Amino acid sequence: QIARENGINDNLLFNWRHLWRNGGLQPTGEHETSLLPVTLTPEPDNKIPAPVQIPEQMPDSLCCELVLSAGTLRLKGELTPALLQTLIREMKGSSH
């Protein structure tokens, strides 16, 4: 189910399992597997986004529609780069 939720086709997963069980995914022995060092660096606190200013009058025409698993978000009016950046940042943050 985890594979399906992440867009991995059932047939591909079955083929990988079949190859693994039959030794097809084993290293050839020529190259040793080694881990690389990883350092996590926290983001600086000064990355707070500026508040998005919404115009007082919104046109009635539909400008953008996002279909999400939790529902559909319809945005009316002018989509500014700042608003789109905030939406993308919030959507990325909600996936954690």
Q: How far apart are CA 19 and CA 13, in angstroms?
A: 10
pLDDT tens string for the chain (96 positions)? Answer: 777 788 888 888 888 888 878 877 766 666 666 778 888 888 777 666 667 776 666 555 556 777 777 777 777 777 778 877 877 777 776 654
pTM, 2 dp: 0.27
Dihedral sign for Cα 82, 83, 85, 90, please.
positive
Neighbours of 50 (CB within 10 A): 8
